[in-house]
Amino acid sequence: MSEVYEIRASAHFDAAHRLLDYDGPCARMHGHSFRVEAAVAGSRLGPQHLLVDFLDLRRLLEEVVAPFDHNCLNEVSPFTQVSPTSENIARHIYHMLAEMMPRLPQGIRLAWVSVSESPDTKVVYREDA
């Protein structure tokens, strides 16, 4: 049996959006306080007996979501071309974080990203190996 540690960090941003190709009230401009959570996983602890410092993961996540904060998502790339649904937001954040993984200790992989528009909803995006 192998050990796997999973570390999670979260960030939030406030933004407006309207869903494209949607028949309902969310087709109109509206806002949310989005909460984003990311998890990394690995089995090898570093010299400080940490997989990764929570602060390091949170800083990366905050760097990725900063362009969204207090903006209209429909006017921020890539959502000028694709509907800013929670699913698409989660996928975009996942791919941005995946590119940043070399900034974290070796042997850590991005496990998943979740996006919540409200306390009652959450999308989780992951890519199977």
Q: Which residues are catalytic?
A: 26, 70, 117
CA distance 71 to 83: 15
